[in-house]
Amino acid sequence: MVLPAGFALPPLPYLLLLGLGVGAVGYLLYRQSPPVTEPVVLGLVPWIMVGAALHVLYQVGRAAAPIEPLLGTPSVYLTTFVLAGLVWLGAGDRAPAFLAGSGAIVFLGVVGLVFAARPVNLGLPLVGLFVSIVLAVIVWLGLRRLRPAVAITGWVGPLVLVAHSIDGVSTAIGVDVLGFGERTPASRLVLDLAGLLPTADLIGVGWLFVLVKLAVATLVVWLFAEYVREDPQHGRLLLAFIAALGLGPGVHNLLLYTVA
Q: What is the pLDDT of residues 108-154, one digit of tens each?
A: 999 999 999 889 999 999 999 999 999 999 999 999 999 999 999 99
Task: pLDDT band for 208, please (50, 70, 90 cuts).
Answer: very high
Output the pTM of the full model. Answer: 0.94
DSSP 79-107: HHHHHHHHHHHHHGGGHHHHHHHHHHHHH
Q: What is the pLDDT of residues 63-109, one digit of tens each?
A: 999 999 999 989 999 999 999 999 999 998 899 999 999 999 999 99
DSSP 16-73: HHHHHHHHHHHHHHHHH-----HHHHHHHHHHHHHHHHHHHHHHTT-S-GGGGGGSSB
How far, in whole angstroms, is CA 170 from its chain's centroid? 12
For the chain, domain boundaries: 12-115, 123-259
Give 104: exposed, middle or buried? Use CB within 10 Å, 0-12, 13-18, 19+: middle
- Nearest Cα neighbor of 251 from 47, 99, 36 is 47
- The whole-number pLDDT of residue 58 equals 96
- The whole-number pLDDT of residue 1 equals 46
Residues 6+ apart with CB under 8 A from 108: none
What 8-state DSSP symbol labels residue 7? B
Residues 6+ apart with CB under 8 A from 106: 46, 47, 50, 83
